[in-house]
Structure formats: C-alpha cells, structure tokens
Amino acid sequence: MRLRALLREAYRDTVGGTARFATFGLTLLLVLAGLAVADAAAVEQQVVAAQEFRASGAATRIIAAEGRIDPAACEVLTTVPGVSAAGAIRASGEPIVVRSLPGAPVPAYEVSPGFARVVAPNADVAAGALLSKDLADDLDAPAGTTLLTDRGEMRIAAAFDYPTDGRRAGLGYAVLAATPERTAFDECWVSAWPEIANIRALLLGTLRADGGGQEEPPQLVQLNASLGEEFGGGTTFLDRPTRAAVPVAALVALGLGYLSVRLRRLQLASALHAGVTRADAVAIQLLEAAAWAGTACVIGAGFAAVAAAALTSAESLAVFRALAGIPLAGFAGALSGAAIAAVEARERQLLRFFKER
C-alpha cells in the first residue's frame, strides 16, 4: 500500500473510534502528566536544597593564615572553572567610628577588590565601602550614602547580608573597605559551585613563600558548616523517589500500546486474511498509535513545562530538561507496544479470535 493509503486507513480508524484514540490517549496523558508533576516536585526539592547550601555560605571555603596570604594569588583563583568569587581579607586595626553612632565603634576590615563578590555578588567596590545589612539598617545608610567617620568621609557602595545562620562570626556588624595594596592578608575566601574536589590544594597555593618556618599551620575551614561538609547533590538526586519516572512511563505506555492493538486482534487477523501485507498492517497500527501517543506526549510535555515554570527555583529550564524524558519515553513505549502486538498477530489465528470475541 502507498503511504497515502496507509494514512487514509489510519485516519479512518482514528476518527471512527476503532483505534480508541480518546481512551488510550487520555489514559497515557494522565500517566505522563502525573509522573512529570511528581518528578518536578522532587527535583525542585533538590534544587532548593542546593540553593540553600550555596546561599548559606557552605560552598565558601577559607584559608586562615595571619599575615601570610597573597591577595593576588587568592584572586587569580577566579580563573579556575567553577570558582565564582575569591578575595582576601584582613582586620584593619582600630575600629572605625561613625559620627552618627559615636558610642559604638564598628569593626573594620580591608579586603582585596574581588572579596566583595564573595559576600555581595552584585556590589561594585570601586563605588565605596561595604556595610553589613544590620549595620546599614542601624545607620540608615543605603547604597550611595556618604557617612562621616573618624577617618573622613566614607561612601557606601552596598550592603551585604550576613545572617547568624551558622556561618563564622565576625562580619555580621562590620565595614569592608577595598584596598589595592598587595601586602600580606590574613585570609582567602573562595566560593565555588559546583564544589571543586581540589579546593584545599588551591587554597594552600595562596600562601606566601617567604613566611619562614615558625608560623602556625594554616587553618582550612568552611564559612558555614551547619549544612554539612559537602552537599552530596548527585547522590540525593539519584536517590529521589521519582527517579524511576522515565522507565515507568515507558513501561505503562508499552502496555497501553500493546493493549490498543491486542483488543483489535480479530480485525488485524481479518485484514491479513484479506490480503493486507504484514508490513502494511504493522504500519497502520503504528500510525494509529502515534496519533494518540503523540498527542498525549505533546500535551504531557506542556504539563512538564508548566510544572517546571511554576517552581520557585531559578532552574526551571534545567528542571524541564530533566522532565522531558518522561513524555518521550511514553511515546517510544507506546509505539513499541503497538509494534509488538501487531507483529504477533497471525492470519491462522482468525478462527480462534472469532470464537473468543
């Protein structure tokens, strides 16, 4: 049979109800949509957990070695793939006194220019100093404000959030002023995501080589260890309850595709008895299965897109990519099931099928 004839026959069976388009299409759609929504919720939990881990400072590692950190070596770590920010910090000596808050000297720190991106990714240190959010609120000093201090005027570039959520104390109520000096600093902070396996070696590489041999060994710490040493997102992602959504979709669709043809075994055997070739019979069944399975797949992909877009995380596109395999597996499974059932049909079974109907 020519392609036009095959399409015409499949169309007639679909429109006439013989192919049970609505029954099988709607059933598959419910399965695909349910699996997509369930897996989207599970993936969202993993994405939110990763964002919380990073936002808490758990992905920021610190090497502390007083007077032995090379700020240039620290900041060059931003060229390492995965490192989003790196910078050095040291105490500036005497606290700074703000004229509007004379009775409460504020701890002050000098930082290398790149340090601002560790605590405030969007800050421009060239525009001035950074204040912790609590201090900025107490001084009513938003970005662009100029404060009078015992060291002269100080322009505020931005405020950075540093909550008491388990991270190291020290910067919750402080002033950070960038300095271009390349003399020794006390600490190097590095934020990396995804986590880097050799981060300890990279941090040790920021130590100055002229320190002598009597110093205390450097301390390698995590900015916030309350959420664990490592995120372990790969393991939790693979262990999520809905990890089997794709094979489940394929298996259910395989069963539906097989059943859709198996219920019409008498019609299929009759067609073979009437002279329709097996290849043509299989092609017609595949076209009919493609009609209801393809419709369910497209609508199911729409459900997956809506579910991914409705999530609170900023990783909607990544979540959708993870879900796209569910409707695709459903479509492939339905066609495979229909093909298996069509190939199994035999003309000699016509009489038995007729008696069993």
pLDDT tens digits along 78-127: 999 999 999 999 998 789 999 888 888 999 999 998 999 999 887 776 67
pLDDT of residue 256: 93
- What is the extent of the structural domain holding 315? 3-52+236-356
With 0-12 / 13-18 / 19 or more C-beta atoms within 10 angstroms meaning exposed / middle / buried, residue 149 is middle
User: Do 12 and 117 have their domain in common?
Assistant: no
CB atoms < 10 A from the CB of 115, how many? Answer: 28
For 242-301, the DSSP string reads: TTTHHHHHHHHHHHHHHHHHHTTHHHHHHHHHTT--HHHHHHHHHHHHHHHHHHHHHHHH
User: Is position 282 within any domain?
Assistant: yes
268-310 per-position pLDDT tens digit: 655 554 546 666 667 777 888 888 899 999 999 988 888 888 7
User: Do 34 and 69 have their domain in common?
Assistant: no
Window from 53-62, 240-249, 315-324 with minimum mean pLDDT: 315-324
User: Is position 202 within any domain?
Assistant: yes
- Residue 18, pLDDT > 70, answer no
User: Is position 193 within any domain?
Assistant: yes
pLDDT of residue 102: 82
Window from 9-18, 136-145, 180-189 with minimum mean pLDDT: 9-18
pLDDT of residue 262: 79
Which residue reads 């219920």 in tokens?
263
User: Do 205 and 72 have their domain in common?
Assistant: yes
Number of domains, the chain: 2
User: Is position 268 within any domain?
Assistant: yes
- The highest-confidence range among 4-13, 93-102, 149-158, 248-257, by mean pLDDT, is 248-257
User: Is position 93 within any domain?
Assistant: yes
Structure tokens at 260: 């859709």
- Decide which of 187, 206, 226 is a domain's last residue: 226
| Segment holding 51, helix H or strand E | helix 21-55
- Residue 312, pLDDT > 70, answer no
Q: Tell me which DSSP letter residue 113 carries.
A: G
User: Is position 119 within any domain?
Assistant: yes
